[in-house]
Amino acid sequence: MSADSDEDNPGGSCDRIDAITQLFRRRPHNMIEEIEKLGFEWHADEQEDADEIAEERSARPTNANEKQLVLFLENRGKPDSKILALWHQETQKDDASVALWRRYFRSGNAQLKRLVLFGLDAHPCDQRLLVQLAFLHEFLPMHHEILTRYTRACDEEAEPKSFAMLAQDFDVAADAFGYDALEALRERYLNAPAKNEVITELLRRRAMLENEVVPF
Q: How confident is the model at residue 77 (pLDDT cuts 50, 70, 90)?
A: very high
CA distances from 58 to 47, 88, 102, 176 (A): 16, 23, 12, 30
Distance CA 136, CA 102 (A): 9
B/e letters for 37-74, b = 16+ CB within 10 Å, e = fewer, are bbbbeeeeeeeeeeebeeebeebeeeeeebebbbebbe
pLDDT tens profile 124-169: 999 999 999 999 999 999 999 999 999 999 999 999 999 999 999 9
Percent of the chain predicted with pLDDT > 70: 75
Least-confidence region, from 35-49, 85-99, 128-142:
35-49
Distance CA 199, CA 186 (A): 6
pLDDT tens profile 45-60: 566 678 888 999 999 9
